[in-house]
Amino acid sequence: MVRLYADEQFPRKVSELLRTMGHDVLTVQEAGNANLGIPDDEVLAFAVSDNRAVITLNRQDFIRLYLK
């Protein structure tokens, strides 16, 4: 299935549901990166380095990163 990295704003219940569907979800909290004020570009870099896609409710900021 899909390897995902859920940022701090993404609902934990949805991450858990995705896991029940067979997806490999790592949350920011589980990675030890919660409440550190890590910039979005570093969140994305972490996900990419671990072969994961970011899932977030903070869509606009990540769209800006994509367009850079």
- How many independent structural domains does the chain possess? 1
Q: Name the residue range of residue 59's domain.
A: 3-67
Q: What is the pTM of this model?
A: 0.88
Cα–Cα distance for residue pair 64/23, rounded to 1 Å = 26
Listed as own residue / partner, the contacts of 58-61 with beta carbons closer than 8 Å and 24 or more positions apart are: 58/7, 58/9
Q: Which amino acid is at 60?
A: Q
CB of 24 within 8 A of CB of 53?
A: no
Cα–Cα distance for residue pair 67/3, rounded to 1 Å = 23
Strands 24-27, 53-55: pairing is unpaired
What pLDDT shows up at residue 58? 86
What pLDDT shows up at residue 45? 93
What does the pLDDT look like over 23-59, one tens digit per residue? 999 999 999 998 898 898 999 999 999 999 999 998 8
